[in-house]
Structure formats: structure tokens, C-alpha cells
Amino acid sequence: MDTDFFKELERFTLLVRKRVSTAYSGGRKSMRFGHGISPVGYREYRKGDDFKLVDWKVYGRTEKLFIREHEEERSLVVHILLDSSASMGYAGKYAYSSRLAAGFAYLATMENEKYTLSRFCHRFYPGEPKRGRRNLISSIAMLDDTLPRGRTNLKLVSELFASQIKTTSLVVLISDLLEDTEDVITSIFRLSGHELVVIQVLSPDEMGMGFGGDVKFVDMESGLSVITRVTEGERADYQTRLAEHNEKIREACDQVGANYFLFQTDRPIFDAFSEMLTRAVVWKT
């Protein structure tokens, strides 16, 4: 894997740190509510809440039960979910996506944060939390050694991830998202309990149907094939359907507050990171 673009990412590390420091002093903070020491607000008591957290002074004034919520500091964990199914092996999609994954791991390393690098197809291969340059090198080697295979089952993977990761984290999903639209949307909603970044990677041929005449198409995951003639009308119909599929994904991301990006594999990798990081959405806390 060519990692020369890592050097260019360092300038964004400084911008990220600057943006974070404007809101917080010291190291990075990731907020969750619990039994910390800094009160941040109140909410009404709900069945099952710890009764010890009731603010009785507020009760004395309002005759209603309120819970005092607190801000608790913890380290940010970047969970990178990388599609390594067979379809990702087409036209360099996996190679491009693995560089995106490595870039996020590098940014986490530069911030001295932990990251996990998990791969999936029809099965989920969860990674262990790692930190530091030595682990980054081993992660890159693992990406290089991975051969895309198997079918995609993002719905199952999102279920497994949600059941295993309970604390709110930054989740970066990288995939071509060429599954049933409703399954993709369901997966996005299931992952939306986290700070979610959804990155769709497609080849130029997939975006524009860069074929004409009699063509044999082979599904890289099922092995099924079909021979057809690609006319201008069929190309236009394909582009319309793909655009509708992608737009529904974008709308789902907007609905849950996730960040959605679509990149073609011919786009320089640094340009992709530049778009994501200059929009200041990747490191929300």
C-alpha cells in the first residue's frame, strides 16, 4: 500500500486539534452521560434510573423528579468497518477503500487515540483496539494481505457490531453499499447510535455504466452472469436507478445525523480526505 499521503494528512491533524481545542482545553473529550463530576443539565426521572441521582433541591422547587446528568471524559475510539466482500475486488475498490481505512487509522494514531479495524463480508471480523505506530504498520499489512471474498451482509454486520459495542464511538463505514437499499438504510439506522461517517466507494464504470454493445456481466459475489446489449436507454435507466439508490442512502444519513460521502476510485485519496476533514465532520465530539 502506498502511504505517502499520510504526510499530507498531518496538516489536517493540526486543524482537527485546533478545532477541538476551541471547545475544550487539554486533550480530546468525548461526551457521554453518567456519574462524572461535571454537571451539564437535567432531565426528568425515568423508571429504572438510579434514585441516588435525583436532585432533591429541584424537587423541592418543582415537586417533580429530575436527574442531574454529568459529562464524563473518555478516550475516543475510532471503529473502522471495511467491506471486504467480493464485489469490492472490482476495479480497485478494495485497494482504494483500504487506503481510506488506513488513513483514518493514521489520524487516530496521530491523535494518540485507539482505533479498531474490522472487516466484513457475509461475516464480521472484528478488530481489536489498537494504538501507536507499530500497530498501525501491522494493520496496513493486514489490509494488504486481505483478499476480497464472499457475499455482503451489512444488515447482519450492523446487528453484530451494535450488540458488541455499547459505548458511543466514532464509526467509519466504508463500502460500495451495493446491497438492497432498505437493508443499507436499516444498517445505517442501527449504527446511528454512534458518531457515524458513511463512505461509499464506486468505480467510474459503476457510476456511469461505461460499457456499450453486447456485454457479459458477472456478479462477483454470486457468480451469476447475464449477457445483454447496453443501449443508451439502458445506460440512462441504470444511472437513474443508481442515483435513486444513493440518494435514499444520503437521505437516511441526513435523517440520523450521519455524514455521507461518495467517492470514485479515480479520485486522488488525499482529495477525499481533504473534503471530509475540511467539512469538519469526522471528529465531532
How is residue 266 annotated by DSSP?
Answer: T
Task: Give the tens place of pLDDT for each residue, 53-81.
Answer: 787 887 777 777 877 655 444 457 899 99
Q: Are residues 178 and 214 in the same domain?
A: yes
Q: Residue 270 is part of a domain; what is its CATH number?
A: 3.40.50.410
Is residue 284 domain-resident? no
**270: CB partners within 8 A, 6+ apart:** 5, 8, 9
User: Chain-wide mean pLDDT for the chain?
Assistant: 81
Q: Are residues 38 and 168 in the same domain?
A: no
Q: Are residues 96 and 199 in the same domain?
A: yes
Q: Are residues 51 and 96 in the same domain?
A: no
Tell me which residue range forms the domain holding 46: 31-71
Domain total in the chain: 2
- Which pLDDT band holds residue 13 (cuts at 50, 70, 90)? low
Which has the higher per-residue pLDDT, 113 or 18?
113
Is residue 285 domain-resident? no
Which amino acid type is present at position 73? E
Q: Are residues 205 and 131 in the same domain?
A: yes
- Distance separating alpha carbons of residues 149 and 84, to the nearest angstrom: 7
Is residue 283 domain-resident? no
Is residue 24 domain-resident? no
- Distance separating alpha carbons of residues 189 and 9, to the nearest angstrom: 30
**Length reported for the chain:** 285
Query: Residue 46: which region, alpha, beta or left (left: phi > 0; alpha: psi -120 to 50)?
Result: beta
Is residue 247 domain-resident? yes
Q: Are residues 183 and 66 in the same domain?
A: no
**Does residue 165 contact residue 141 with C-beta atoms inside 8 Å?**
no
Q: Are residues 222 and 102 in the same domain?
A: yes
Confidence check: pLDDT of 114 > 50: yes
Task: Give the model's pLDDT for residue 75.
Answer: 57
Q: What is the mean pLDDT of residues 77-92?
A: 93
End-to-end CA distance of the chain: 30
